[in-house]
Amino acid sequence: AQTVTQSQPEMSVQEAETVTLSCTYDTSESDYYLFWYKQPPSRQMILVIRQEAYKQQNATENRFSVNFQKAAKSFSLKISDSQLGDAAMYFCAYRGFQGGSEKLVFGKGMKLTVNP
């Protein structure tokens, strides 16, 4: 079974600084997607960034970028120029395709605090 591990339960960063959130996963599949979702307090989960495993180039979305290391099964999220609105729970998620499954497998999440 696929598993996703976020080993850091909490992190804090100063406004305008850069922070990196770590995520590792375990799978035997070669075709899969990885995601970072953001869940602000009392608000719904939104997608931050997505990485297809077959793509060697790391995904980038404005201030958000990933470091995807397929062999190491590592998928970290870098947030540059942190803003107060980045404060939230961040979840790493895996989506495989074996057996037609469409479920997302989430890590436990990491709480990011942004200090002014």
Rounded to a whole number of angstroms, the minimum distance from the CB of residue 72 to other proteins is: 21
Residues that bind other proteins (CB under 8 A): 4, 33, 35, 37, 43-47, 50, 91, 93, 97, 100-109
Count of other CB atoms within 10 angstroms of residue 39: 15
Nearer CB in complex with other proteins: 24/71: 24
| 112 within 8 A of 21, measured Cβ to Cβ | yes
Rounded to a whole number of angstroms, the minimum distance from the CB of residue 34 to other proteins is: 12
Nearer CB in complex with other proteins: 16/46: 46
Residue with tokens 């375990």: 26
Rounded to a whole number of angstroms, the minimum distance from the CB of residue 17 to other proteins is: 26
Nearer CB in complex with other proteins: 3/115: 3
Rounded to a whole number of angstroms, the minimum distance from the CB of residue 69 to other proteins is: 21
Residue 73 φ/ψ, nearest 5 degrees: 55, 50
Nearer CB in complex with other proteins: 18/97: 97
E strand segments, the chain: 3-5, 10-14, 19-21, 24-26, 32-39, 46-52, 60-61, 64-69, 74-79, 88-96, 105-106, 110-115
